[in-house]
Amino acid sequence: MQKFLVLAVFGLVAQLIDGSLGMAYGLTSSTLLLSAGVAPAVASASIHLSEVGTTLVSGVSHWKLGNTDWRVVAWLALPGGAGAFVGAVALSSLSAEAVVPFVALFLVVLGAYVLVRFAFLGGRAPVRAGAVSRKVLGPLGLVAGFLDAMGGGGWGPISTPTLLSSGKMEPRKVIGTVDTSEFLVALCASVGFFVALDRSVVALPIVGALLLGGVIAAPLAAWLVRLLHPRVLGSAVGGLIVLTNGRTLMREAGLGADLRYAAYAAILALWAAAIVVAVRAIRAERSERAGRPPAGGALVGAGD
Protein backbone atom coordinates (compact mmCIF):
# COMPACT_ATOMS: atom_id res chain seq x y z
CA MET A 1 0.00 0.00 0.00
CA GLN A 2 2.87 2.35 0.83
CA LYS A 3 4.50 1.78 -2.58
CA PHE A 4 1.13 2.39 -4.31
CA LEU A 5 0.76 5.73 -2.51
CA VAL A 6 4.32 6.74 -3.43
CA LEU A 7 3.62 5.96 -7.09
CA ALA A 8 0.36 7.90 -6.89
CA VAL A 9 2.35 10.88 -5.62
CA PHE A 10 4.68 10.43 -8.63
CA GLY A 11 1.65 10.65 -10.91
CA LEU A 12 0.25 13.64 -9.04
CA VAL A 13 3.53 15.57 -9.22
CA ALA A 14 4.00 14.72 -12.90
CA GLN A 15 0.48 15.86 -13.78
CA LEU A 16 0.82 19.08 -11.79
CA ILE A 17 3.99 19.91 -13.73
CA ASP A 18 2.47 18.89 -17.05
CA GLY A 19 -0.69 20.86 -16.40
CA SER A 20 1.36 23.95 -15.63
CA LEU A 21 3.87 23.65 -18.49
CA GLY A 22 2.00 21.78 -21.20
CA MET A 23 4.73 19.14 -21.09
CA ALA A 24 6.87 16.88 -18.87
CA TYR A 25 4.34 14.33 -17.54
CA GLY A 26 6.22 11.52 -19.24
CA LEU A 27 9.65 13.01 -18.56
CA THR A 28 8.94 13.49 -14.87
CA SER A 29 7.19 10.20 -14.22
CA SER A 30 9.70 8.16 -16.26
CA THR A 31 12.57 9.80 -14.40
CA LEU A 32 10.97 8.95 -11.05
CA LEU A 33 10.09 5.38 -12.07
CA LEU A 34 13.55 4.65 -13.51
CA SER A 35 15.20 6.05 -10.39
CA ALA A 36 12.98 3.69 -8.36
CA GLY A 37 14.36 0.71 -10.29
CA VAL A 38 11.47 0.08 -12.72
CA ALA A 39 12.61 -1.41 -16.07
CA PRO A 40 12.48 1.09 -19.01
CA ALA A 41 9.91 -0.83 -21.08
CA VAL A 42 7.66 -1.40 -18.06
CA ALA A 43 8.00 2.25 -17.01
CA SER A 44 7.13 3.55 -20.46
CA ALA A 45 4.22 1.11 -20.86
CA SER A 46 2.83 2.08 -17.45
CA ILE A 47 3.16 5.78 -18.17
CA HIS A 48 1.41 5.56 -21.52
CA LEU A 49 -1.41 3.41 -20.16
CA SER A 50 -2.02 5.95 -17.39
CA GLU A 51 -1.81 8.78 -19.91
CA VAL A 52 -4.72 7.31 -21.87
CA GLY A 53 -6.89 8.40 -18.94
CA THR A 54 -5.14 11.64 -18.00
CA THR A 55 -4.88 12.92 -21.59
CA LEU A 56 -8.54 12.13 -22.22
CA VAL A 57 -9.55 14.33 -19.27
CA SER A 58 -7.07 17.00 -20.32
CA GLY A 59 -8.16 16.93 -23.96
CA VAL A 60 -11.85 17.28 -23.11
CA SER A 61 -11.05 20.18 -20.78
CA HIS A 62 -9.04 22.02 -23.44
CA TRP A 63 -11.77 21.41 -26.03
CA LYS A 64 -14.42 22.84 -23.71
CA LEU A 65 -12.25 25.91 -23.08
CA GLY A 66 -11.63 26.50 -26.79
CA ASN A 67 -7.91 25.76 -26.61
CA THR A 68 -7.83 23.13 -29.37
CA ASP A 69 -7.01 23.56 -33.07
CA TRP A 70 -8.55 20.42 -34.57
CA ARG A 71 -6.75 20.81 -37.91
CA VAL A 72 -3.39 20.65 -36.16
CA VAL A 73 -4.62 17.82 -33.92
CA ALA A 74 -5.44 15.69 -36.97
CA TRP A 75 -2.13 16.23 -38.79
CA LEU A 76 -0.08 15.88 -35.60
CA ALA A 77 -1.84 13.04 -33.77
CA LEU A 78 -2.14 10.50 -36.61
CA PRO A 79 1.61 10.31 -37.45
CA GLY A 80 2.30 10.72 -33.73
CA GLY A 81 0.26 7.60 -32.99
CA ALA A 82 2.10 5.66 -35.70
CA GLY A 83 5.49 6.76 -34.36
CA ALA A 84 4.47 5.88 -30.81
CA PHE A 85 3.39 2.37 -31.84
CA VAL A 86 6.71 1.73 -33.62
CA GLY A 87 8.68 3.19 -30.71
CA ALA A 88 6.83 1.00 -28.22
CA VAL A 89 7.54 -2.15 -30.23
CA ALA A 90 11.21 -1.16 -30.68
CA LEU A 91 11.66 -0.50 -26.95
CA SER A 92 9.96 -3.75 -26.02
CA SER A 93 12.42 -5.74 -28.14
CA LEU A 94 15.45 -4.34 -26.35
CA SER A 95 16.82 -5.61 -23.06
CA ALA A 96 16.53 -3.31 -20.06
CA GLU A 97 20.29 -3.32 -19.54
CA ALA A 98 20.96 -2.25 -23.13
CA VAL A 99 18.44 0.58 -23.25
CA VAL A 100 18.98 2.21 -19.83
CA PRO A 101 21.93 4.47 -20.83
CA PHE A 102 20.26 5.51 -24.11
CA VAL A 103 16.98 6.39 -22.39
CA ALA A 104 18.89 8.29 -19.69
CA LEU A 105 20.89 10.21 -22.31
CA PHE A 106 17.69 11.08 -24.18
CA LEU A 107 16.08 12.36 -20.98
CA VAL A 108 19.19 14.36 -20.01
CA VAL A 109 19.14 16.13 -23.39
CA LEU A 110 15.42 16.92 -23.13
CA GLY A 111 15.76 17.94 -19.49
CA ALA A 112 18.60 20.31 -20.37
CA TYR A 113 16.48 21.78 -23.14
CA VAL A 114 13.54 22.34 -20.77
CA LEU A 115 15.90 23.95 -18.23
CA VAL A 116 17.50 26.32 -20.74
CA ARG A 117 14.23 27.16 -22.47
CA PHE A 118 12.33 28.18 -19.36
CA ALA A 119 15.19 29.71 -17.36
CA PHE A 120 17.03 31.61 -20.08
CA LEU A 121 14.74 31.83 -23.12
CA GLY A 122 11.43 32.47 -21.38
CA GLY A 123 9.40 30.30 -23.75
CA ARG A 124 7.79 33.22 -25.53
CA ALA A 125 7.23 33.59 -29.28
CA PRO A 126 5.31 36.17 -31.35
CA VAL A 127 2.15 35.00 -33.11
CA ARG A 128 2.11 35.58 -36.89
CA ALA A 129 -0.65 35.09 -39.42
CA GLY A 130 -0.90 31.74 -41.20
CA ALA A 131 -1.16 28.06 -40.38
CA VAL A 132 1.52 25.54 -39.49
CA SER A 133 2.34 23.52 -42.61
CA ARG A 134 1.34 19.87 -42.87
CA LYS A 135 4.89 19.24 -44.08
CA VAL A 136 6.03 20.24 -40.60
CA LEU A 137 3.25 18.62 -38.58
CA GLY A 138 3.56 15.12 -40.09
CA PRO A 139 7.29 14.57 -39.49
CA LEU A 140 7.06 16.36 -36.12
CA GLY A 141 4.30 14.02 -34.93
CA LEU A 142 6.13 10.93 -36.21
CA VAL A 143 9.45 11.77 -34.52
CA ALA A 144 7.89 13.06 -31.30
CA GLY A 145 5.63 10.01 -30.99
CA PHE A 146 8.51 7.59 -31.60
CA LEU A 147 10.83 9.26 -29.08
CA ASP A 148 7.98 9.61 -26.59
CA ALA A 149 7.38 5.85 -26.57
CA MET A 150 11.10 5.06 -26.51
CA GLY A 151 11.83 7.38 -23.59
CA GLY A 152 8.56 7.32 -21.66
CA GLY A 153 8.25 11.03 -22.35
CA GLY A 154 9.03 13.59 -25.01
CA TRP A 155 5.75 14.34 -26.82
CA GLY A 156 5.24 17.67 -25.07
CA PRO A 157 8.90 18.80 -24.84
CA ILE A 158 9.35 18.17 -28.58
CA SER A 159 5.96 19.19 -29.98
CA THR A 160 5.16 22.20 -27.77
CA PRO A 161 8.35 24.26 -28.32
CA THR A 162 8.40 23.37 -32.03
CA LEU A 163 4.87 24.68 -32.54
CA LEU A 164 5.59 27.73 -30.38
CA SER A 165 8.70 28.51 -32.42
CA SER A 166 6.61 28.53 -35.61
CA GLY A 167 5.01 31.74 -34.33
CA LYS A 168 1.68 30.79 -35.91
CA MET A 169 -0.26 29.60 -32.86
CA GLU A 170 -1.16 31.19 -29.56
CA PRO A 171 0.57 29.53 -26.60
CA ARG A 172 -2.77 28.39 -25.13
CA LYS A 173 -3.71 26.83 -28.49
CA VAL A 174 -0.34 25.07 -28.67
CA ILE A 175 -0.69 23.56 -25.20
CA GLY A 176 -4.33 22.55 -25.72
CA THR A 177 -3.64 21.05 -29.13
CA VAL A 178 -0.57 19.11 -28.01
CA ASP A 179 -2.36 17.78 -24.92
CA THR A 180 -5.41 16.73 -26.96
CA SER A 181 -3.23 15.02 -29.59
CA GLU A 182 -1.40 13.11 -26.88
CA PHE A 183 -4.47 10.94 -26.20
CA LEU A 184 -4.00 9.12 -29.51
CA VAL A 185 -0.24 8.92 -29.00
CA ALA A 186 -0.66 7.36 -25.55
CA LEU A 187 -3.30 4.97 -26.86
CA CYS A 188 -1.16 3.77 -29.79
CA ALA A 189 1.92 3.40 -27.61
CA SER A 190 -0.12 1.33 -25.14
CA VAL A 191 -1.35 -0.93 -27.97
CA GLY A 192 2.26 -1.34 -29.12
CA PHE A 193 3.39 -2.36 -25.66
CA PHE A 194 0.52 -4.85 -25.32
CA VAL A 195 1.39 -6.37 -28.71
CA ALA A 196 5.14 -6.63 -28.07
CA LEU A 197 5.40 -7.15 -24.31
CA ASP A 198 4.58 -10.18 -22.26
CA ARG A 199 1.37 -8.97 -20.61
CA SER A 200 2.51 -10.39 -17.28
CA VAL A 201 5.21 -7.69 -17.05
CA VAL A 202 2.78 -4.81 -17.58
CA ALA A 203 2.52 -3.45 -14.05
CA LEU A 204 -1.16 -2.57 -13.64
CA PRO A 205 -0.64 -1.37 -10.02
CA ILE A 206 1.83 1.21 -11.36
CA VAL A 207 -0.70 2.22 -14.03
CA GLY A 208 -3.46 2.53 -11.45
CA ALA A 209 -1.32 4.57 -9.07
CA LEU A 210 -0.14 6.99 -11.77
CA LEU A 211 -3.67 7.34 -13.10
CA LEU A 212 -5.09 8.03 -9.65
CA GLY A 213 -2.49 10.71 -8.94
CA GLY A 214 -2.93 12.24 -12.39
CA VAL A 215 -6.71 12.44 -12.17
CA ILE A 216 -6.49 14.10 -8.74
CA ALA A 217 -3.89 16.57 -9.99
CA ALA A 218 -5.64 17.56 -13.23
CA PRO A 219 -8.01 20.13 -11.68
CA LEU A 220 -5.29 21.32 -9.30
CA ALA A 221 -2.90 22.13 -12.14
CA ALA A 222 -5.00 25.11 -13.25
CA TRP A 223 -4.81 26.48 -9.72
CA LEU A 224 -1.06 25.81 -9.47
CA VAL A 225 -0.27 27.67 -12.67
CA ARG A 226 -1.86 30.79 -11.14
CA LEU A 227 0.27 30.43 -8.02
CA LEU A 228 3.72 29.67 -9.41
CA HIS A 229 5.22 31.06 -12.60
CA PRO A 230 5.80 28.51 -15.44
CA ARG A 231 9.42 29.67 -15.82
CA VAL A 232 10.18 28.61 -12.25
CA LEU A 233 8.40 25.29 -12.71
CA GLY A 234 10.19 24.64 -16.01
CA SER A 235 13.57 25.41 -14.49
CA ALA A 236 12.83 23.18 -11.50
CA VAL A 237 11.70 20.14 -13.49
CA GLY A 238 14.47 20.52 -16.09
CA GLY A 239 17.12 20.48 -13.37
CA LEU A 240 15.50 17.48 -11.67
CA ILE A 241 15.49 15.49 -14.91
CA VAL A 242 19.13 16.33 -15.70
CA LEU A 243 20.31 15.50 -12.17
CA THR A 244 18.46 12.18 -11.87
CA ASN A 245 19.29 10.86 -15.33
CA GLY A 246 22.82 12.24 -15.18
CA ARG A 247 23.28 10.05 -12.12
CA THR A 248 22.14 7.04 -14.15
CA LEU A 249 24.54 7.86 -16.99
CA MET A 250 27.50 8.27 -14.66
CA ARG A 251 26.68 5.00 -12.90
CA GLU A 252 26.44 3.17 -16.24
CA ALA A 253 29.75 4.71 -17.36
CA GLY A 254 31.45 3.49 -14.17
CA LEU A 255 32.76 6.90 -13.10
CA GLY A 256 34.56 7.10 -9.78
CA ALA A 257 33.01 8.70 -6.71
CA ASP A 258 35.12 11.88 -6.95
CA LEU A 259 34.09 12.55 -10.54
CA ARG A 260 30.44 11.82 -9.79
CA TYR A 261 30.35 14.21 -6.82
CA ALA A 262 32.05 16.93 -8.89
CA ALA A 263 29.46 16.43 -11.63
CA TYR A 264 26.61 16.53 -9.11
CA ALA A 265 27.97 19.80 -7.71
CA ALA A 266 28.20 21.31 -11.21
CA ILE A 267 24.64 20.26 -12.08
CA LEU A 268 23.28 21.61 -8.79
CA ALA A 269 25.12 24.91 -9.30
CA LEU A 270 23.73 25.27 -12.83
CA TRP A 271 20.26 24.33 -11.62
CA ALA A 272 20.35 26.94 -8.83
CA ALA A 273 21.69 29.59 -11.22
CA ALA A 274 18.90 28.84 -13.71
CA ILE A 275 16.20 29.26 -11.06
CA VAL A 276 17.79 32.54 -9.91
CA VAL A 277 17.84 33.80 -13.52
CA ALA A 278 14.18 32.82 -13.97
CA VAL A 279 13.12 34.56 -10.74
CA ARG A 280 15.01 37.73 -11.62
CA ALA A 281 13.54 37.79 -15.13
CA ILE A 282 10.01 37.44 -13.73
CA ARG A 283 10.57 40.29 -11.26
CA ALA A 284 12.11 42.49 -13.96
CA GLU A 285 9.15 41.89 -16.30
CA ARG A 286 6.63 42.72 -13.60
CA SER A 287 8.54 45.80 -12.46
CA GLU A 288 8.83 47.03 -16.04
CA ARG A 289 5.09 46.70 -16.53
CA ALA A 290 4.47 48.47 -13.21
CA GLY A 291 6.91 51.26 -14.15
CA ARG A 292 9.23 50.79 -11.19
CA PRO A 293 12.71 49.31 -10.51
CA PRO A 294 12.87 45.50 -9.95
CA ALA A 295 11.99 44.47 -6.41
CA GLY A 296 11.34 41.30 -4.44
CA GLY A 297 7.95 39.71 -4.26
CA ALA A 298 6.04 36.46 -4.32
CA LEU A 299 5.93 34.57 -7.59
CA VAL A 300 2.17 34.57 -7.92
CA GLY A 301 -0.18 35.40 -10.74
CA ALA A 302 1.71 33.32 -13.30
CA GLY A 303 -0.86 34.03 -15.97
CA ASP A 304 0.88 37.29 -16.92
DSSP reduced 3-state for 25 = helix
pLDDT for residue 242: 86
Positive or negative CA dihedral for 284, 290, 295, 297? negative
pLDDT of the residue at 300: 46
How much is the pLDDT for 32?
78
pLDDT at 56: 86
Instruction: Give the chain's residues under pLDDT 50.
Output: 125-126, 297-298, 300-304
Q: Are 201 and 98 in contact (CB under 8 A)?
A: no
For 95-100, the CB contacts below 8 A with 24+ separation are: 96/39, 96/40, 96/41, 99/40, 99/41, 100/34, 100/40, 100/248, 100/252
pLDDT at 52: 87
Q: What are the pLDDT digits (tens) for 146-157?
A: 988 877 667 887
Residue 184 and residue 200: Cα distance in Å, rounded?
24
pLDDT in tens, 153-188: 678 877 877 787 676 777 678 878 888 898 999 899
